[in-house]
A and B are shown apart, each in its own frame.
Chain A
Amino acid sequence: NAGVTQTPKFRILKIGQSMTLQCTQDMNHNYMYWYRQDPGMGLKLIYYSVGAGITDKGEVPNGYNVSRSTTEDFPLRLELAAPSQTSVYFCASSYSADTPREQYFGPGTRLTVT
């Protein structure tokens, strides 16, 4: 299994541009998540999904959108990029809500908005 994969690894955006961060998992996990990690901080939840067609906001959803059309894919869309969105973005997945709810993380995408 490849686990959780993310593309791209790095990206530089200009203010006002948009882009989609891709996330794919091959573990047949129902739950998927997007986090952002700002310098010197832990991760904060942006959006999550409990299954295909179902998404919900996390702690810091403003400026982002998600969709979940398949079990495997959970893309994160940035519209009108702003410098405050400069961060490292992690996608994660987990089994359905049984124990122990361990989340498996992708390698991250480093995004810079200038």
Chain B
Amino acid sequence: AQTVTQSQPEMSVQEAETVTLSCTYDTSENNYYLFWYKQPPSRQMILVIRQEAYKQQNATENRFSVNFQKAAKSFSLKISDSQLGDTAMYFCAFIASALNYGGSQGNLIFGKGTKLSVKP
């Protein structure tokens, strides 16, 4: 079974600085997708960035980038130039590409989350 582990329950960063959130996962699949979701106090789940396992190039979305290490099964999120609006829970999530995997085709596996606080 797949698992996703986020080892940092809480982190804080000063505004304008850079912070890295860690995520490791376990799977026997070769093709899969990884995501970082942001959940602000409004509770809305917002997709921040995604990475396809077959792509070696790390994904980047403006101030957000990932360090994807497939062999190490590591998928960290780097937030540059942190802003007060980045304060939120951040969830790492995994989904297998195989259509019939585990009989649960849409099963996003989530980590427990990291609470990020950006301080002025």
Q: Name A residues whose Cβ lies closer than 8 Å to a Cβ of B.
A: 31, 33, 35, 40-45, 48, 50, 56-59, 88, 90, 92, 94, 97, 99-105, 107-108, 110
Q: How far is the CA of A41 from the CA of B104 in the complex (A)?
A: 20
Q: Which chain B residues in 1-21 approach chain A with CB under 8 Å?
A: 4
B50 touching A59 by the CB < 8 A rule?
no
- Per-residue contact bits, chain B 40-62, to A (CB 8 Å; 1 contact, 0 not): 00111111001010000000000
B43 touching A88 by the CB < 8 A rule?
yes
* In the complex, the 10 A-B pairs of residues with the closest C-beta atoms, listed nearest first: A42-B110, A105-B45, A108-B43, A48-B106, A43-B110, A97-B99, A33-B106, A45-B107, A42-B112, A31-B106
Chain A residues with Cβ below 8 Å from B111 are: 42
- Per-residue contact bits, chain B 91-117, to A (CB 8 Å; 1 contact, 0 not): 101010101000111111011110000
B33 interface residue per 8 A CB criterion = yes
A107 touching B4 by the CB < 8 A rule?
no
A56 touching B104 by the CB < 8 A rule?
yes
Among B33, B47, B105, the residue within 8 A (CB) of A48 is B105
B75 interface residue per 8 A CB criterion = no
B35 interface residue per 8 A CB criterion = yes
Chain A residues with Cβ below 8 Å from B43 are: 88, 107-108, 110
Contacts A42-B91, A42-B113, A88-B43: A100 and B107 contacting too (C-beta < 8 A)? no
Other CB < 8 Å A-B pairs besides A43-B91, A97-B105, A99-B33, 13 of them?
A31-B105, A33-B108, A41-B112, A42-B110, A42-B113, A48-B104, A48-B106, A48-B107, A103-B106, A107-B42, A108-B44, A108-B45, A110-B43
